[in-house]
Amino acid sequence: MPSTAVRARLGLAGALAAVLVAAGAVAGPAAQAHERPGHGKPPATLAELAQRHGRYFGSATDNPELTDAAYTKILGREFDMITPGNGMKWYATEPQQGVFDWTAGDEIVALARGHRQKVRAHTLVWHSQLPDWLTGRQWTADELRAVLKKHIQTEVRHYRGKVYSWDVVNEAFNEDGTYRETVFYKTLGPGYIADALRWAREADPKAKLYLNDYNIEAVGPKSDAYHALAKELKARHVPLDGIGMQAHLALQYGYPTTLPDNLRRFARLGLDTALTEVDVRMLMPATDEKLAQQAEWYRDLTKACVTVRRCVGVTVWDYTDKYSWIPAVFPEEGAALPWDEQLAPKPAYRAIREALS
């Protein structure tokens, strides 16, 4: 798993070093010496380093890749929070109206339990990846409200006591801060968000409830819309525990320098925040310069969460380029994650470790 740069820097010798390298539990020798000096102890994992700050460090995963033993070994060791990339979305969990299928989600929950990891459950209400039976007809407000309530409460009750949190509503706003014209918004109006939160809380009073979106890391129209909505929901005593900032970033568009300020203003509302779907893509091919810049961004993102009160953790959107969603959606881009396609750690991995050390 280690990159050429890591192998060149390793100061360990003998069979033990080879075992550690094969297991993927490597960092720069300086970090190793700082974290667990002497006696051949393995370096701390990302999860262990984050826990020292009262944070978690997680990864998304998806069911098809769970047959990859080398992949799942790292997934089970380095992280303490897992997000199912697709297995809990509406198309997977209610493929026919009133007919529920928990197979994919249950597999991820069982995997997490086997590694003593928590689960960020994703997602209950989203405009994408909806089943045809839902999108292929017109609904009255009463009909759709009943469908939405049943879906939310059936799924949340199924996973009650098994998950840390829910992304209850995902991607509710446009870039300019207006509401996204989803089937839910067009049929039910903006009140569907408060209803969804209330129904989720009824079904599992202990799970943390989040609103989640991309391009809200910086202060701007879209994050302002979430701030205003969160303030309104809190004033109305609607259950809302946190705001998830996906942090799908791209080198060519610049770093969200106001992220710390943005995290703080949500904390002042009494809300947790989390970086929930982190990746940092680049125009291909990758170069040493781009990988170094990417590492700085991962370091800065991680530091922002560690240093800002009520940012509870960071989740990368899968940890390896081998299973990244980026190339399929952005064909000229990629290399977005801290491990490469061979499951070797990149400069970004070491930068995260430094931010947590």
| Residues catalogued as catalytic | 171, 277
Distance CA 21, CA 33 (A): 16
Half-sphere exposure of 171 (CA within 13 A, CB side): 15
Q: Residue 58 is encoded by which pair of tokens?
A: 């997680």
Q: Which residue has the tokens 């999860």?
A: 47
Distance CA 273, CA 263 (A): 7
Distance CA 243, CA 209 (A): 9
Q: Are 60 and 66 in contact (CB under 8 A)?
A: no
Which residues, in sequence order, are CB contacts of 347 under 8 Å at separation 6+? 5, 291, 292, 294, 295
Is the backbone of residue 129 left (phi > 0), alpha (psi -120 to 50) or beta? left
Amino acid at the residue 57: F
Residue in 63, 43, 30, 71 with CA at minimum distance from that of residue 339: 71
- The phi and psi torsions of 306 (rounded to 5 degrees) equal -70, -35
Q: What dihedral do alpha carbons 171, 177, 183, 186 form, nearest 10°?
A: 160
Pairing of strands 81-84, 165-170: unpaired
Half-sphere exposure of 117 (CA within 13 A, CB side): 32
